[in-house]
Structure 1
Amino acid sequence: MHTHPDIVEMRERYDRMGEQPTVQVTDGLMMVAGLYAAASAWIIGFADQTALATTNLICGLAVALLAMALGSAYGRTHGLAFVAPLLGLWLFVSPWLVSGVDTSTSMIWSHVIVGAIVFVLGVAAAAMGTGLMDRSR
């Protein structure tokens, strides 16, 4: 792909798309959701369950870093946007899949909500990268 004759034009088009307010809001909200997911074990109060707290910390930081990358260099990172919905799904189901977790109602709701938000924002970011949401075409 790096030898494609229109690679510079393609990157410039993606960078222009990344400057649109819709994309910036999407990336910003995804970064905030990722930071919340990373800190949710301490916010909600299940930090004593180290396996789930660790997976939230790693997954949340990955979402936040991905959102920062998409926000700062969309032309070079749009190919990674498919990872965000997968991380959202993991956040959604992790309380039931991580072993040794005693779930509580607040923990479940926290994971379901932040997982759904990351999933939806990730699908939106991926759709923008494929041109599905580009109205200028």
Structure 2
Amino acid sequence: MSTRPAQTPIEAHPDLMALRAHYEEASETPLARTLYGLTCLAGLYAAISPWVVKFSVIPYITVNNLIVGLAVAVMALGFASAYGRTHNLAWTTPVLGVWLIISPWVILQKAATTGLIASNVIVGAIILLLGAGVASLGMTRQFG
């Protein structure tokens, strides 16, 4: 009869607990708070951009921007409130930024207007950069 040592559940593993503490510490810096706030604002702008730039008469891109923008804003709020638990989703924010950049050509092909393209490319690039910053927060070793 062999005796095996009692195994610790993964949720209580010391390395996992230290990693979560590291993510929580990284999320409390002024830089992190700034990134979360700007990401949320960029997402909200993407959601309302069809009405701001006056391309809300084009239904597919309007729905696309509304859904993607709200998703980015909600994710930013999640990062701000519980980064230790939501950091695994941070990689999706830059992907959504890339989607906003290319969506006028993918969804509308040749029917995209200059204002629509400019709005999506600019806000998509901003979300891409801010999302990359949010995703890299847990990788930093020094907090400022």
**Alignment of structure 1 residues 82-121 onto 2, 5 Å:** 82-99=91-108, 102-121=111-130
1:69 corresponds to which of 71, 78, 83: 78
Moved more, 92-101 or 119-128: 92-101
* 1:17 counterpart = 2:23: no
Larger radius of gyration: 2
* 1:58 counterpart = 2:42: no
* 1:123 counterpart = 2:140: no
CA distance in 1: counterparts of 2:42 and 2:21, whole angstroms? 28
- Please give the secondary structure, in 2, of the residue aligned with 1:6: helix
Aligned length: 134
**1:128–1:134 CA contact under 8 A, matched in 2:** no
1:104 Cα deviation (Å)? 1.4
- Please give the secondary structure, in 2, of the residue aligned with 1:95: helix
- Please give the secondary structure, in 1, of the residue aligned with 2:111: coil
Runs of 5+ unmatched residues, structure 2: 1-9
1:12 Cα deviation (Å)? 1.9
**1:52–1:101 CA contact under 8 A, matched in 2:** no
Root mean square deviation, CA, Å: 1.5
Runs of 5+ unmatched residues, structure 1: none
2:51 corresponds to which of 36, 42, 45: 42
Q: After TM superposition, what 4+ stretches of structure 1 lie above 4 angstroms from structure 2? A: none
CA distance in 1: counterparts of 2:127 and 2:66, whole angstroms? 14
TM-score, structure 2 normalization:
0.87
Q: Which residue of 1 aligns with 2:37?
A: 28
Quick one: percent identity of the two aligned structures? Answer: 43
